[in-house]
């Protein structure tokens, strides 16, 4: 079978392997990237606060898992992605991107090195098929295999300051390693204790909330008992099940971009402040590399900034950013994400604005349904956890 053919057949909407568990917990569902996923269980605000103060347990089974393996898997990924996965040590993870020939962002993703010849690439739900196709095409010249394993895995995240304390009793790591020794953006195989028996998982200290936490890749057959074990452990420390609504406000406070909002094929890594993940000195002809070198050499016309507002009305994605001192409210940008911050108590937003108006401290305004509400350009992220 060719790499391009090793993809997961999809229908819409797809159901999480935990769908019945969520329904029993009283979840409200939403169609997200073709998946029916829990958006909340009781209160967005309560779930958000639980992640900041104790822990939240998220079902992320809509994310895509793509395995790249073989003698030249690392070199193949160097050619497929903007980074250099071949230099990663086993057990490390790296944030990166797939870009097109013009340097536009096809998807942002995390790559885990599982072995000398084995990697796991985790893609956003909406972009699994484009990522699989891109990887299969770009890896074809190398001795590497690409397989979409999304249907094989459930993914559960436990995020929050008590995550490590909650999960430690459930996990057995190789060679007596301690959970506290697993650093940020590291992963390890582990054994997860269930109510009856155990299951082998991939444990990663990664997340999308701005808090400490873990993502647990579980075989689909063990998804339900694994969720019950992880949620039970979190609840013993004050944790709660958490939906996609609070995950969005958490990642916004942490200044983390979302594909389809901050990241699109119309944006490039430098415009959104992620040029650090691009390796321009690779010894393979990576797709988009020539365009990225040109983009790196010239200032972007628009850049991603943080905006702080006042009051209770929050800027929303798509709202125009204007210069209040310009003629007739000159449009100088567009909001990509915005919300009333549950943690900070005031409106926050990310926006792509003209580079000339992007300095911290600049006063701008957002057109909120015909009313120009003042905002100030501030540094990202809006929130940093105390370590």
Q: pLDDT tens across 176-233, in order? A: 789 999 999 999 999 999 999 999 999 999 999 999 999 999 999 999 999 999 999 9
At 176 the three-state DSSP class reads helix
Q: Rounded to whole angstroms, what are the CA distances from 31 to 16, 57, 80, 162, 317?
A: 11, 19, 30, 30, 18
DSSP-assigned beta bridge partners for residue 193? 198
Half-sphere exposure of 360 (CA within 13 A, CB side): 5
Would you state the pLDDT for residue 329? 76
* Burial (0-12, 13-18, 19+ Cβ within 10 Å), 243: buried
Q: pLDDT tens across 65-122, in order? A: 999 999 999 999 999 999 999 999 999 999 999 999 999 999 999 999 999 999 999 9
Q: Domains along the chain?
A: 1-300 (3.30.1360.120), 302-387 (2.40.30.110)
Q: How far apart are CA 186 and CA 147, in angstroms?
A: 22
Lookup: tokens for 137: 């095409």
Taking all residues of the chain, what is their mean pLDDT, rounded to a whole number? 95
Output the tens digit of pLDDT for each of the chain's 387 residues.
333 333 444 455 899 999 999 999 999 999 999 999 999 999 999 999 999 999 999 999 999 999 999 999 999 999 999 999 999 999 999 999 999 999 999 999 999 999 999 999 999 999 999 999 999 999 999 999 999 999 999 999 999 999 999 999 999 999 878 999 999 999 999 999 999 999 999 999 999 999 999 999 999 999 999 999 999 999 999 999 999 999 999 999 999 999 999 999 999 999 999 999 999 999 999 999 999 999 999 999 999 999 999 999 999 999 999 998 766 779 999 999 999 999 999 999 999 999 999 999 999 999 998 899 999 999 999 999 986
Q: How far apart are CA 266 and CA 269, in angstroms?
A: 10
At 40 the three-state DSSP class reads strand
Q: How many CB atoms lie within 10 A of CB 71?
A: 12
Parallel, antiparallel, or unpaired for β 213-219 and 153-159?
A: antiparallel
Q: Does pTM surpass 0.85?
A: yes
| 134 torsion bin: left (phi>0), alpha (psi -120 to 50), beta (else) | alpha
Q: Of 333, 337, 332, which Cα lies nearest the Cα of 314?
A: 337
Residue 241: partners with Cβ closer than 8 Å, 6 or more residues away: 22, 25, 27, 38, 41, 47, 56, 57, 58, 231
Q: How far apart are CA 306 and CA 367, in angstroms?
A: 16
CB 347 within 8 A of CB 341: yes
């Amino acid at each position: 079978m060719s790499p391009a053919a090793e993809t997961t057949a999809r229908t819409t909407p797809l159901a999480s392997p935990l769908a019945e568990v969520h329904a029993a917990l009283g979840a409200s569902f939403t169609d997200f990237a073709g998946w029916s996923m829990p958006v909340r269980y009781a209160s967005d605000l309560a779930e958000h606060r639980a992640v900041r103060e104790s822990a939240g347990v998220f079902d992320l089974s809509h994310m895509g898992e793509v395995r790249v393996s073989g003698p030249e898997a690392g070199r193949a990924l160097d050619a497929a992605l903007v980074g250099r996965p071949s230099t990663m040590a086993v057990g490390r993870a790296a944030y990166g991107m797939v870009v097109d020939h013009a340097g536009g962002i096809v998807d942002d993703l995390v790559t885990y090195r599982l072995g000398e010849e084995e990697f796991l690439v985790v893609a956003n739900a909406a972009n699994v098929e484009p990522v699989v196709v891109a990887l299969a095409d770009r890896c074809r010249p190398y001795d590497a295999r690409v397989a979409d394993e999304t249907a094989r895995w459930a993914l559960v995240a436990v995020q929050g300051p008590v995550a490590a304390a909650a999960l430690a009793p459930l996990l057995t790591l190789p060679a007596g390693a301690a959970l506290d020794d697993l650093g940020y953006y590291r992963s390890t195989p582990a054994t997860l204790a269930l109510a009856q028996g155990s299951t082998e998982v991939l444990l990663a200290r990664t997340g999308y909330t701005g808090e400490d936490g873990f993502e647990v890749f579980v075989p689909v057959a063990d998804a339900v008992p694994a969720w019950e074990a992880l949620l039970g452990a979190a609840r013993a420390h004050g944790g709660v099940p958490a939906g996609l609504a609070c995950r969005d406000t958490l990642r916004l406070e942490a200044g983390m971009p979302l594909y389809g909002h901050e990241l699109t094929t119309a944006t490039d890594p430098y415009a959104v402040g992620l040029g650090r993940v691009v390796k321009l000195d690779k010894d393979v002809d990576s797709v988009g590399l020539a365009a990225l070198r040109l983009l790196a050499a010239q200032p972007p016309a628009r850049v991603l900034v943080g905006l702080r507002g006042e009051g209770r009305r929050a800027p929303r994605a798509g709202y125009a950013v204007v210069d209040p001192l310009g003629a007739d409210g000159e449009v100088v940008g567009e909001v990509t994400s915005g919300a009333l911050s549950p943690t900070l108590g005031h409106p926050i937003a990310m926006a792509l604005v003209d580079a000339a108006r992007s300095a911290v401290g600049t006063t701008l305004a957002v057109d909120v349904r015909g009313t120009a509400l003042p905002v100030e350009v501030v540094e990202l992220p809006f929130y940093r956890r105390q370590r």
